[in-house]
């Protein structure tokens, strides 16, 4: 499975630019698309999922164009939208059976098989006869994964899947995605750095509709090596630090305020070099928590 | 399409709103041709006529249901957006025509089933009152000509209008006004234009059924209606329903295209 995004631009009504001139090649495995809210992630996901057509350029999924051959792509696609909803009066099993019907699976025994397999993958077997209105947010996301898996897709797109989930559900969801990725292509679109860090072997960062960086999480972390520092500062010094450096986090400790920041060289004498994380790299590339900093 | 119909019906049956309408409509339909509504001893001969009982039951049911059906059906497509299932459905293989017709047929079957108690209750009532069997053909004929065509029309109108408006609420009040003027002309169908262009079920009632019941046929206050006008009325309702559904499928296809072009749902 291979996706080629070629010079893709999407312009909405009112000349609002969704994404501009994106070029990307994605192969099998877990691919993370990271970016702040409104960066254009969902636009790109929807274009790959054949829900939107690019204004300029084309996307090929295993050689099929989204412009010309969207049905062929749909046959190999599983999609969990950002805003996934369910029919509250149906049970999980009924809901999946209904969606299998909408997929065009007419044979009841084949449908049953597909529903059981999808329920199994998403860990819904024990609760499949419960009505969906009784499901928690995490359980509903599982139903979302199950419906995306009804066709055993080679391409799975999940858009902001962990938004609103509690930490335990998030971990469970990460594990589930890692388990099912196997020889598939799974695209995870999110603004939560931790989601990509724990699950993806390949990633890209997008902002204001443009691709900022394309790399693997370890390589991205490597690129900010030596640029992440921790400083213990007094309350009154905090504003000055914020003005001069890009601050990633501020944590109050017994000995003072621990400021984690980005700087090309040691910002103060008492600054300690910190080992960078993907979140540091993300802030470095995207522009950061306090973007308007003065010259270092 | 059978699968879509089956699940849409299942969801319908699991909704309390459907059962409230079902009970209300059944109560009214069963009340109309019974001694509860005609308590005087002089009215007893009425109950000997199966045609009279059937047309009375269905005139009440049709009058009520042409209003309530719109409210029951209105959100069937729009709710896929409000429940946020629409995007997951759009990436599936199902075509717009199959999707729309599945929703429509399920709505129509649900509305037809509301007449179910009439088919059981009226023959029992007749047996209890007169110890005679009901002519079941009368019930079926009245159901097919007086009840079903207006339901087909109202369901198509409600589905199309609310999908175009993308919200059922702006549809309710204008439709209720339309229903009020249409149904209040029940006794005033004195021109062929009114006879053809109405969805109250009054045209087939007057043309086909009041004429076969002796005391109704002799009632000078009962407006005369020719079977041709009633047939034209039924044709108008069915043809308009089909036209509305074609328009709805076209609109859904166009909207998918427009949505793709403009991405109306944002980034």
Instruction: Say how far apart CA A141 and CA B196 lie, in whole Å.
Output: 52
- Provide the CA A203 distance to its chain's centre, in angstroms: 9
Which of A52, A102, A159 would you mutate first to test chain B, the one with the most B CBs within 10 A? Answer: A102
Query: B263 at the A interface (CB within 8 A)?
Result: yes
Query: Residue A192: its pLDDT value, please?
Result: 85
B265 in any annotated domain: no
Q: Closest Cα of chain B to A105: distance in Å?
A: 10
Confidence of residue B217 (pLDDT cuts 50, 70, 90): confident
Q: Show contacts of A20-25: CB within 8 Å, 24+ apart.
A: A20/A209, A20/A210, A21/A56, A21/A57, A21/A210, A22/A57, A22/A206, A22/A209, A22/A210, A22/A211, A23/A211, A24/A204, A24/A211, A24/A214
Tell me whether residues B92 and A99 touch, CB distance under 8 A.
Answer: yes
Nearest chain A residue to B260 by CA distance is A52
Question: Cβ contacts (< 8 Å) between B260 and chain A: which residues?
Answer: 51-53
Q: What angle do CA B43, B47, B53 make, to 5 degrees?
A: 115
Q: Which of A250, A273, A252 is nearest to A260 (CA)?
A: A250
Over residues A147-179, the pLDDT tens digits come to: 988 988 889 999 888 777 778 878 877 888 888
Count of other CB atoms within 10 angstroms of residue B124? 11
B253 in any annotated domain: yes
Tell me whether residues A98 and B3 touch, CB distance under 8 A.
Answer: yes
Query: Residue B267: its pLDDT value, please?
Result: 44
Eight-state DSSP code of residue B40? S
Instruction: Say how far apart CA B73 and CA B86 lie, in whole Å.
Output: 17
Query: A98 at the B interface (CB within 8 A)?
Result: yes
Over residues B187-202, the pLDDT tens digits come to: 566 678 888 888 988 8
Q: Which of A5-14, A281-290, B237-246 ranks highest by mean pLDDT?
A: B237-246
Question: Cβ contacts (< 8 Å) between A36 and chain B: which residues?
Answer: none
Query: A51 at the B interface (CB within 8 A)?
Result: yes
Q: Report the b/e string of B157-171 with b at 16+ CB within 10 A.
A: bbbbbbbeeeebeeb
Over residues B227-244, the pLDDT tens digits come to: 999 999 999 999 999 999
What is the value of pTM for the model shown?
0.82
Query: B17 at the A interface (CB within 8 A)?
Result: no
Tell me whether residues B4 and A102 touch, CB distance under 8 A.
Answer: yes
Both structure tokens of A160:
């902001």
B96 in any annotated domain: yes
pLDDT, mean over chain B: 87
Instruction: Say how far apart CA A186 and CA A200 lie, in whole Å.
Output: 9
Query: A84 at the B interface (CB within 8 A)?
Result: yes
Instruction: Say how far apart CA A38 and CA A34 lie, in whole Å.
Output: 11
Instruction: Say how far apart CA B211 and CA A216 lie, in whole Å.
Output: 83
Query: A85 at the B interface (CB within 8 A)?
Result: yes
**Pick from A52, A87, A103: which is nearest to B92 by CB?**
A103
B88 in any annotated domain: yes
**Pick from B84, B260, B261: which is nearest to A84 by CB?**
B84
Query: B7 at the A interface (CB within 8 A)?
Result: yes
Eight-state DSSP code of residue B213? S
Q: Residue A6 is inside which H or E element, if any?
A: strand A3-12
C-alpha dist (Å) from residue A288 to A194, A257, A285, A291, B207? 16, 19, 8, 5, 78
Question: Please, where are the H alpha helices in chain A?
Answer: 41-48, 70-75, 92-102, 108-122, 137-148, 167-181, 193-199, 217-223, 235-244, 278-286
B263 in any annotated domain: no
**Pick from A38, A50, A104: which is nearest to B91 by CB?**
A50
Query: B260 at the A interface (CB within 8 A)?
Result: yes
**Pick from B15, B87, B261: which is nearest to A53 by CB?**
B261
B266 in any annotated domain: no
Query: B16 at the A interface (CB within 8 A)?
Result: no
Confidence of residue B69 (pLDDT cuts 50, 70, 90): very high
Question: Are A162 and A7 within 8 A, CB to CB?
Answer: no
Q: Closest Cα of chain A to B29: distance in Å?
A: 29
- Provide the CA B41 distance to its chain's centre, in angstroms: 34
Q: Which of B158, B171, B181 is nearest to B244 (CA)?
A: B158
- Please give the backbone phi and psi of residue A75, each rounded to the nearest 5 degrees, phi first: -65, -25
Around A216, how many Cα atoms within 13 Å sit in the side-chain half-sphere? 6
Q: Closest Cα of chain B to A69: distance in Å?
A: 13
Over residues B13-53, the pLDDT tens digits come to: 999 999 999 999 999 999 988 888 887 766 677 777 889 89
Both structure tokens of A259:
């400021």
Instruction: Say how far apart CA A237 and CA A247 lie, in whole Å.
Output: 13
Strand order in the sheet with A272-273: A246-253, A256-262, A228-233, A272-273
Tell me what the mean pLDDT of segment A96-124 comes to.
Answer: 91
Query: A75 at the B interface (CB within 8 A)?
Result: yes
Instruction: Say how far apart CA A255 and CA B227 lie, in whole Å.
Output: 96
Tell me what the mean pLDDT of segment B249-262 comes to.
Answer: 67
Which sign does the torsion angle of CA A258, A260, A263, A265 carry?
Answer: positive
Over residues A66-98, the pLDDT tens digits come to: 888 888 888 889 999 988 899 999 999 999 999
Eight-state DSSP code of residue A91? B
Q: Closest Cα of chain A to B80: distance in Å?
A: 9
Number of separate domains in chain B: 1
Query: Residue B265: its pLDDT value, please?
Result: 44
| Global ipTM | 0.84
Question: Are A151 and A96 within 8 A, CB to CB?
Answer: no
- Provide the CA B266 distance to its chain's centre, in angstroms: 38
Question: Cβ contacts (< 8 Å) between A86 and chain B: which residues?
Answer: 83, 85
Question: Cβ contacts (< 8 Å) between B4 and chain A: which residues?
Answer: 98, 101-102
Q: Closest Cα of chain B to A276: distance in Å?
A: 31
Question: Are B141 and B115 within 8 A, CB to CB?
Answer: no
Question: Cβ contacts (< 8 Å) between A208 and chain B: which residues?
Answer: none
- Please give the backbone phi and psi of residue A201, each rounded to the nearest 5 degrees, phi first: -105, -5
B264 in any annotated domain: no
Query: Residue B257: its pLDDT value, please?
Result: 56
Instruction: Say how far apart CA A253 and CA B33 lie, in whole Å.
Output: 83
Over residues A219-277, the pLDDT tens digits come to: 999 998 999 999 988 888 888 888 888 888 898 888 788 999 888 888 888 889 999 99
Instruction: Say how far apart CA B152 and CA B177 lie, in whole Å.
Output: 19
Which of B88, B101, B257 would you mutate first to test chain A, the one with the most A CBs within 10 A? Answer: B88
What is the Cα gyration radius of chain B? 20
- Please give the backbone phi and psi of residue B5, each rounded to the nearest 5 degrees, phi first: -60, -45
Over residues B130-156, the pLDDT tens digits come to: 888 988 999 999 999 999 999 999 999
Question: Are B50 and B126 within 8 A, CB to CB?
Answer: yes
Question: Cβ contacts (< 8 Å) between A101 and chain B: which residues?
Answer: 3-4, 7, 94
Question: Cβ contacts (< 8 Å) between B99 and chain A: which residues?
Answer: 102
Residue B34's contacts (CB-CB under 8 Å, 6 or more residues apart) are: B125, B129
**Pick from A13, A38, A101: which is nearest to B4 by CB?**
A101
Query: A71 at the B interface (CB within 8 A)?
Result: yes
Confidence of residue B258 (pLDDT cuts 50, 70, 90): very low
Residue A77's contacts (CB-CB under 8 Å, 6 or more residues apart) are: A49, A50, A61, A151, A153, A155, A156, A157, B91
Tell me whether residues A89 and B11 touch, CB distance under 8 A.
Answer: yes
Query: A86 at the B interface (CB within 8 A)?
Result: yes
Query: Residue B43: its pLDDT value, please?
Result: 67
Q: Which of B58, B69, B29 is nearest to B204 (CA)?
A: B58
C-alpha dist (Å) from residue B199 to B1, B27, B53? 28, 22, 21
Which of A76, A98, A164 would you mutate first to test chain B, the one with the most B CBs within 10 A? Answer: A98
Indicate the angle between helix axes B96-113 and B148-165, nearest 10 degrees: 130
B262 in any annotated domain: no
Please give the residue range of the domain that contains residue B59: 2-257
Which of B2, B4, B94, B263 would you mutate first to test chain A, the one with the most A CBs within 10 A? Answer: B263
């Amino acid at each position: 499975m291979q996706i080629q995004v070629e010079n893709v631009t999407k312009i909405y009504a009112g000349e609002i630019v969704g994404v501009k001139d994106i070029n990307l090649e994605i192969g099998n495995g877990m691919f993370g698309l990271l970016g702040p809210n409104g960066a254009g992630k969902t636009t790109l996901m929807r274009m790959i999922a054949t829900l939107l057509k690019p204004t300029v350029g084309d996307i090929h999924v295993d050689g099929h164009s989204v412009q010309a051959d969207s049905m062929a792509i749909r046959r190999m696609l599983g999609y969990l939208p950002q805003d996934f909803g369910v029919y509250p009066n149906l049970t999980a099993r009924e809901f999946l059976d209904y969606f299998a019907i909408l997929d065009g699976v007419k044979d009841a025994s084949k449908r049953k098989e597909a529903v059981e397999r999808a329920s199994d993958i998403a860990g819904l077997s024990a609760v499949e006869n419960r009505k969906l209105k009784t499901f928690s947010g995490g359980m509903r996301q599982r139903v979302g994964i199950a419906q995306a898996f009804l066709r055993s897709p080679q391409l799975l797109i999940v858009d902001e899947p962990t938004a609103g989930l509690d930490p335990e559900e998030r971990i469970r969801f990460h594990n589930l995605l890692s388990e099912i990725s196997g020889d598939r292509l799974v695209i995870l679109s999110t603004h939560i750095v931790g989601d990509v860090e724990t699950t993806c072997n390949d990633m890209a960062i997008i902002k204001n509709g443009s691709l900022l960086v394309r790399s693997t999480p370890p390589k991205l972390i490597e690129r900010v090596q030596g640029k992440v520092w921790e400083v213990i500062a007094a309350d009154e010094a905090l504003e000055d630090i914020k003005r001069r450096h890009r601050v990633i986090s501020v944590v109050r400790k017994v000995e003072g305020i621990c400021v984690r920041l980005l700087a090309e060289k040691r910002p103060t004498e008492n600054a300690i070099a910190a080992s960078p994380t993907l979140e540091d790299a993300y802030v470095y590339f995207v522009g950061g928590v306090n973007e308007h900093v003065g010259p270092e | 399409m059978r699968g879509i119909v089956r699940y849409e019906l299942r969801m319908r049956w699991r909704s309390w709103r459907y059962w409230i309408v079902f009970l209300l409509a059944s109560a009214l339909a069963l009340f109309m041709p019974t001694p509860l509504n005609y308590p005087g001893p002089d009215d007893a001969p009425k109950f000997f006529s199966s045609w009279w009982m059937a047309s009375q039951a269905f005139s009440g049911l049709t009058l009520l249901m042409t209003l309530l059906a719109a409210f029951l059906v209105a959100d069937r497509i729009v709710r896929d957006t409000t429940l946020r299932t629409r995007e997951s459905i759009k990436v599936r293989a199902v075509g717009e025509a199959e999707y729309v017709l599945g929703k429509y047929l399920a709505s129509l079957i649900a509305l037809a089933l509301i007449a179910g108690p009439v088919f059981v209750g009226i023959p029992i009532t007749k047996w209890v009152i007169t110890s005679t069997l009901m002519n079941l053909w009368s019930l079926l004929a009245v159901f097919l000509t007086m009840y079903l065509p207006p339901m087909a029309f109202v369901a198509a109108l409600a589905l199309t209008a609310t999908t175009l408006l993308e919200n059922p609420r702006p549809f309710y009040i204008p439709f209720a006004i339309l229903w009020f003027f249409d149904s209040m002309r029940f006794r005033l169908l004195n021109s062929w234009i009114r006879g053809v262009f109405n969805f109250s079920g009054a045209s087939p009632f007057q043309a086909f059924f009041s004429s076969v019941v002796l005391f109704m046929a002799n009632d000078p206050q009962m407006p005369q209606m020719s079977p041709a006008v009633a047939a034209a009325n039924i044709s108008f309702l069915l043809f308009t329903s089909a036209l509305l559904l074609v328009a709805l499928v076209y609109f859904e296809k166009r909207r998918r295209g427009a949505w793709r072009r403009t991405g109306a749902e944002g980034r």
